[in-house]
Structure 1
């Protein structure tokens, strides 16, 4: 018996860490006034494969199925398209909308460290804000979330409209625009040689290919450098959007944490403007920790109104990648503060004091294993449990408990009320 490749069960300390990460993200999302949503896992195949959805590369990885009514369905491969459907089906929603969602998504793609076939995504999206303020606020949110997770990050960003204008100035034909963007997006993985090999398969002229390779050869482009090198870009719509967001980033003091990267484009075809990707600033982990961007056109197109844009920008946190970075950090896994052990026939008293502790917000574990006391105490100490309450039959008759402080190595016989007071005022 085994799990399907790319899927895992989580329990114990690992599940506790996953829960803690999600709770941390949820706290930040709600601090920024995002409201929770829960969209459908099963969706119509036509929706998931529409030209307004994820693009050919994602569709190849989609799990497809047929139900008993012979309907063509698919499992969601991200949280964005089901959310766009939700907005499209409810045109009476008052804008702007700020929402978050945490849920499983499915992709039949290659399995590697931090990349599974069944995995958790944690998304935030803003609908109804046209300007760069939404992007800037999501960047602030991302930096705050990773600060709380104690992961230093770099949020690289670019603008797909601007990158399209840049490639157009080099002579890239419109039908090859997305393909060339996807190739440039891989520059950190495949390098200039890999870029050249991919470009040679696209049927581009030598002049265009040489122009792209010249651009790819320089790694430290700034927005000003690009506009200086390639004439006529500075006042194009994409360039105006870049300049406006860059000004906000600078005014917020985020320039170092949020560098401009003219090669970044993201793989999904629906992005219309700003795109960003989050990386470990210490460079100890290579895969991205989150990504997102602006997708203004999807919702209007889904409801057949190409003349209306629903300005939308989103950000997705990669739970599996974050887990890979934090799985050895025991300090992030919550443990019980108190262990209650009945000795002899004192289970009712043990359950009673455990209930009192929990009613006062104290995380409490009970031990009814009847194993040797020495082993239970050693286990509590190794797991970082601060207090152990022992209730023997003599203590129960006297209305007392034996309170052990595992840090101070002290023990005292006190009433249940005194034990509760001591524990509450020391945690």
Structure 2
């Protein structure tokens, strides 16, 4: 083992892995743009006060921020999600058109306890709609998630709830208003600590646990009977009806869904692979932009954990090499001809790799086979003089001869056109 390894909680993506990750990211990008979302980029480094602001991520997230001081003694941190930087951007750019629909794919950081398949640096694919209060915006964000999961071939579930509905029910069932935040923190850990664990936490916090019976039953009709036709319940019902009308059978009501971040103010949702992990989550955060100095603006968004998608697809995805043709020059004179040939082939759209190490044919063929490159051209003195050469298909061993200007024919042979 070498002296220097990746920092704890980080990982490298070697070329074969990175091609698979890029394949997933490209699919995500195409889905986002199909719905009219525009790309955005923001710094990885933000003011610590911005990241730790009360009402943004909450105390738990504050503890997970990568914090440091720069040489100017400024307190800074690495972004832990894409939503807080977005709120800053929108607050400081009030002339942005509404609705403002943006996406971003990039790295985020959380100083969390590293676990299997859980890292401190990971990639998020985030999309949001700013300026729309209607449940139609909530539905579109969920629709994007469904489109993406289907395009990647997953069987999955979209859990949907509304934090206001959960809050209204909790108060009806005896939870005090000042206990709501702590109650939500415990409910949000249901998958991790089980029903008994949640009950124990309620007891230790002095919270009436009657509401838990309702949560565990998870009946929309019973919730409706308890709290009546509130505005938040109507919005949730409309959202579920839109999903049903569009044959989105993956969408399910889940009363226990609270989402951990404090900035959520209404509808929340979570996407999980069936018999697998959660891979995305989001919701409505209508007060976050106002928190950073802008005017309060309705907002809803969602974020995919790209690394989690990668971890669940890595074994299934088979990526070919980036190189179509490998050219082997057998002499200095052949090298000059080979550079000219490789340039012409690249101009037609063929990916070409040239032997840069001056290895013999046997060594080069071993390299070609290891990388899975499909075609090889060997250039010797005869090929230079005649300006004719053979393109060898490695799988079948068949060869076809071409002249240097037969570019369209070579393209057809290599690309199967």
Asked if the contact 2:375–2:414 (Cα under 8 Å) also holds between the matched residues in 1, the reply is: no
Whether 1:278 and 2:271 are equivalent positions in the alignment is yes
1:336 and 2:318 correspond: no
**Match for residue 279 of structure 2 among 276, 283, 289:** 289
Contact 1:20 1:334 (8 Å CA) reproduced: no
TM-score normalised according to structure 1 size:
0.90
Aligned to 1:313: 300
Decide whether aligned partners of structure 1 residues 425 and 120 sit closer, same or farther in structure 2, where only a CA change above 3 A counts. closer
Alignment match, 1:37: 40
- 1:113 alignment partner in structure 2: 116
CA distance, structure 1, for counterparts of residue 6 and residue 415 of structure 2: 46
Mapping for residues 212-231 of structure 1, pairs under 5 Å:
212-218=211-217, 221-228=218-225, 231=226
RMSD value, Cα: 2.1
Q: Is the 8 A contact 1:16 1:334 kept in 2?
A: no
Which residue, 339, 343, 357 being the options, matches 1:369?
357
Greater alpha carbon shift after TM alignment, 265-274 vs 395-404:
395-404
Partner residue, 1:13: 16
| Partner Cα separation in structure 2 for residue 185 and residue 333 of structure 1 | 42
Asked if 1:48 is matched to 2:47, the reply is no
Q: Confirm or deny that 1:246 pairs with 2:240.
A: yes
Residues 279 and 289, structure 1, Cα contact 8 Å, conserved in 2:
yes
User: Match of 2:25?
Assistant: 22
Q: 2:88 aligns with which of 82, 85, 88?
A: 85
In structure 2, the partner of 1:326 is: 313
Work out whether residues 31 and 144 of structure 2, in 8 Å CA contact, stay in contact via their aligned partners in 1. Answer: yes
The answer on 1:404 being equivalent to 2:407 is no
**CA 1:242–1:387 in 2, change beyond 3 Å: closer, same or farther?**
same
State the distance in 2 between where 1:356 and 1:149 align: 36
What is the TM-score when the length of structure 2 is the normalising length?
0.92
Matched, 1:60 2:63: yes
Which sits farther off after the overlay, 12-21 or 48-57? 12-21
Equivalent in the alignment of 1:261: 254
Residues 1:3 and 1:37: Cα distance change in structure 2 (over 3 Å)? same
Counterparts of 1:127 and 1:383, CA distance in 2: 46
Cα offset for 1:297?
Answer: 0.8
CA distance in 2, matches of 1:326, 1:87: 35
Number of equivalent positions: 411
TM-fit CA distance, 1:123: 0.8
Give the equivalent residue in structure 1 for 2:143: 140
Q: Provide Cα deviations, 1:309-343, integer angstroms capped at 9, x if missing partner.
A: 31111111102211211222342465322222222
CA contact (8 A) 1:52 1:302 kept: no
Q: Distance in 1 between matches of 2:262 and 2:19?
A: 36
Question: Gapped runs of 5+ residues in structure 1?
Answer: none
What secondary structure is seen at the aligned counterpart in 2 of 1:396?
A: helix
| 1:298 corresponds to 2:288 | yes
Deviations 1:394-414, CA, capped at 9 Å, x for gaps: 112111121112233311222
Residue 99 of structure 1 pairs with residue 92 of structure 2: no
